[in-house]
Amino acid sequence: MRKPKKLLNDPNSVAQEQFEGFMVAATHMEQIGSLTAAIRKDYTPNKVAIVTGGGAGHEPMYGGFVGKGLADGVAVGDVFAAPTPDVIMQTCTALSPENGVVFVYGNYSGDNMNFDIAAELLEDAEIKSHTVRINDDVISASKENQQERRGIAGALFVLKIAGAAAEVYPEFNDVVSATEKALANTASIGVALSPCAIPRNQSFNFDIADDEIEIGMGLHGEPGVGKSKLGNAEETVYQLMEKLEQELALVEGDEVCVLVNNLGASTQMELLIANRSVGQYLTKKGVFIHECLVGNYCTSLEMSGYSISLMKLDEQLKQLYNLPCHSVALRK
């Protein structure tokens, strides 16, 4: 049986070491002591603070999206594990927010619990907060139960809108409203071709046969809608796009942002071939592409496959999306 092969130092220290390596590149950010947490150096306390975070193993999500026009602070946990409430709280207090904190993170039980505790601690400190749980994965639960859906790569679009709104809107409720609108208009779905392995483990965390794929596989190996035989790229992408079209109720004349996101080990060639099919599908439907991102944005260690995210735009979301941003993983 094939075993995972990684070039590491200490498998038990990868979250800390990768974050330290990230901070070498993130010259616009300041690490909070030795924590796997950091804030923007140029943050001004009079604006609404956008704080994000989650488990390591999804790089460049989440730290890669901290910067002007994006998140203001990030708290990172161990591999596939939520950051602790203390680390989240220290991230918030390092920002000294005078106009409140908006939490934006993936909808997973551990993250929900720990960010909720941090929100309670902020309340005790008389700092208002609001939570936006990203639940863009359309396969993980029905639309009627979308509060149970997982958060995947569509987090990028939600963070982009949240960060832009916080730059231009002085009112807390306006930032919250724009962020929630972005989430309501974002949908994602993925396909996995091969598994990943947590560094300290000596085995992969799920199995996929060489001639199989799984539609809707989660970032941590959560089951999708079932395995199917490996087909061609166009057939697979069209299957994904049909679900996204239905979810967002797309009609002729709509305009969207597109993200074709690498889950980790797929090649840029595969992503671009997928993006070709995305473009063909939307053109046939009369849906316009405002901007298209293709690459590594929310990964799952060495899992191969990709996810597709769409954000349907209105004039407000389009204006906010077009505002400049600067981070390690996204610049406009």
* CA–CA separation, 255 and 240 (whole Å): 18
Asked if domains 11-185 and 186-321 share a fold, the reply is no
CA 71 to CA 119: how far, in whole Å? Answer: 17
Backbone phi and psi for residue 24, each to the nearest 5 degrees, phi listed first: -60, -35
- The architecture in CATH of the region 186-321 reads 2-Layer Sandwich (3.30)
Task: List, as own/partner pairs, every contact residues 273-279 make where C-beta atoms lie below 8 angstroms and the sequence separation is at least 24, other chains included.
Answer: 273/233, 274/233, 274/236, 274/237, 274/306, 274/308, 277/233, 277/234, 277/237, 277/238, 277/241, 278/237, 278/241, 278/308
Amino acid (one-letter) located at 142: S
Per-residue pLDDT at 202: 78
Of 26, 97, 90, the residue nearest 63 (C-alpha): 26
Active-site residues: which are they? 58, 220
The three-class DSSP label of residue 206 is coil
Structure tokens at 108: 């997973």
Using CB atoms within 10 Å of the CB of residue 45, give its burial: 0 to 12 exposed, 13 to 18 middle, 19+ buried. exposed
As a whole number of angstroms, the distance between CA 246 and CA 122 comes to: 39
Question: What architecture does CATH give domain 11-185?
Answer: 3-Layer(aba) Sandwich (3.40)
pLDDT for residue 1: 61
pLDDT at site 217: 86
pLDDT tens track, the chain, 332 positions: 678 899 999 999 999 999 999 999 999 999 999 999 999 999 999 999 999 999 999 999 999 999 999 999 999 999 999 999 999 999 999 999 999 999 999 999 999 999 999 999 999 999 999 999 999 999 999 999 999 999 999 999 999 999 999 999 999 999 999 999 999 999 999 999 999 999 988 788 888 899 999 999 889 888 788 888 999 999 999 999 999 999 999 999 999 999 999 999 999 999 999 999 999 999 999 999 999 999 999 999 999 999 999 999 999 999 999 999 999 999 99
pLDDT of residue 14: 97
Cβ-based burial of 332 (10 A; exposed 0-12, middle 13-18, buried ≥19)? middle
Domain spans of the chain, in order of start: 11-185, 186-321
